[in-house]
Structure formats: structure tokens, C-alpha cells
Amino acid sequence: MDLVSIRIITGDIARLVGFYEQATGVRAHWSTEDFAELRTPCGTLAIGSTRTVALFAPGCARPAENSSVIIEFLVADVDGVHRNLAGSAADFVTEPTTMPWGNRSLLLRDPDGNLVNFFTPVTPAAIERFAR
């Protein structure tokens, strides 16, 4: 089994896709006007409009109500991501901070309020954990 993607349901797909394109530098692949994917070598962030929910089961997912999941991106320069997003729609929860486990992390909320962590391994042990 492989984890293929995480999907966010949103009431404003263009806004959310634009935010993630700016934050990650990854261009979205649009399948329809209601569904886009930001594909990386390790996984995909899928973003669907509320209109796609009815295809599964009406009312089974609601936008902007997540309070338990953190979407995480491994980046080469977390401080650069912070500079790139300064002045944007990002709601910073913490400034770039080096965590006890060796990652320098930037925690923010996307325009729908979902928590997003951008991180860069900075200690030898953390760098080794994420070596490809």
C-alpha cells in the first residue's frame, strides 16, 4: 500500500491552489475546474472544490473545519519560504524555529485555516533521516 495524496476540500479552489503554488513553488495540474493537484516526488496535495463532495457522499466533508491535521512540506530553505510568504495570505503561527528533533520549522495557516508546516532538517541526525 502507498499513501498517494492528501485532499483538501475548499469553498474557493482558485484562492487555495494559488496559495499552495506560491508557498511551494509547485505548479498545480488541473483536471477540472473543481480539482487540482500539486505533485511532488514523494506525494501529492490534491485540492477539490465543495462541488466534488457530492460525488462521494453529500455533506461528508466541509471546507475550513480542520483542527487536527498538519500538512507538512520538506523544503530546502524554510527561511526562504517565510520570506516568500511574508505579506501574503499566510497566517503565521510561529516564525522559523529550530525544533528539539533537529528541523527548522515554519508553522502557518493556509487561507482556509489548515495548519501547514514547512521544515528544513538542520542537525546531522535530522539531515540523515531525510536523506534521499
Domain hosting 14: range is: 1-58
- Same domain for 128 and 79: yes
What DSSP element (H or E) covers 65?
none
Q: What is the CATH number of the domain that holds 53?
A: 3.10.180.10
- Same domain for 87 and 124: yes
pLDDT band at 131 (very low <50, low <70, confident <90, very high): confident
Looking at the structure of the chain, the number of domains it has is 2
- Same domain for 104 and 72: yes
- Whole-number Cα distances in Å, 43 to 6, 57, 113: 8, 25, 21
pLDDT band at 84 (very low <50, low <70, confident <90, very high): very high
- Same domain for 96 and 42: no
The pLDDT of residue 37 is above 80: yes
Mean pLDDT for the stretch of residues 19-26 = 95
Does the pTM surpass 0.85? The reply is: yes
